[in-house]
Amino acid sequence: MFNLYKPVILILLAAVVGFYGCGKKAPPVAPQEKPTPAVDDLQGHREGHRAVLVWHLPPGWDHQAVERAGFRVYRNRRALHAETCPGCPLVFEQVAFIPLVGTPNTGAGNLPLQFGETIEPGYRYIYKVVGLGPAAMESGSSNLVEIVY
């Protein structure tokens, strides 16, 4: 009698093992590194025909061993007479990369980092900076700064 049920039992056993024994497969994940802290003190102002941004290294930045650490500066530019779109996302473009290598910011004084560019009258400029830390890990976006000319 057992021989009659043997194929059915083996099929059910194989189905149970195949269903529960396999587990979920996914690509390998690299070990999590400490996230790169975001800038939270971005300030900006207009000096004549120039927009000037100033910020400091966020606490916890370990850039001493990072060759390509620095900050990407992003800008959104819109004409003052252009219609606004409530709820529409701001579209930013990268306008500069400020490297940390060779800057005086590696010391204990933590001098401010700066960026400046010529701007045109009749526009609203919104800036943000994003840090680039170890293993090209980006920080979150900084606070936004608006300059109207």
> Which tokens hold the place of 19?
């269903």
* Tokens 């497969």 found at: 25
Is CATH 2.60.40.10 correct for 43-148? yes
Q: Which residues of the chain fall short of a pLDDT of 70?
A: 1-4, 13, 15-25, 29-34, 61-68, 101-110, 134-135
Enter the pTM of the model.
Answer: 0.71
pLDDT of residue 35: 72
In this structure, which amino acid lies at residue 112?
A: P
52 has which bridge partners?
45, 116
Res 6: pLDDT: 72
Q: How many residues does the chain have?
A: 149
What is the model's pLDDT at position 138? 85
pLDDT of residue 69: 80
Alpha carbons 113 and 93: distance in angstroms, whole number:
20
**Sequence spans of domains, the chain:** 43-148
**pLDDT recorded at residue 36:** 77
SS3 string, the chain, reads CHHHHHHHHHHHHHHHHHHHCCCCCCCCCCCCCCCCCCCCCCEEEEECCEEEEEECCCCCCCCCCCCCCEEEEEEEEEECCCCCCCCCCCCCEEEEEEECCCCHHHCCCCCCEEEEEECCCCEEEEEEEEEECHHHCEEEECCCEEEEC
Of 98, 97, 147, 142, the C-alpha closest to 119 is 147
Instruction: Give me the pLDDT at residue 62, please.
Output: 58
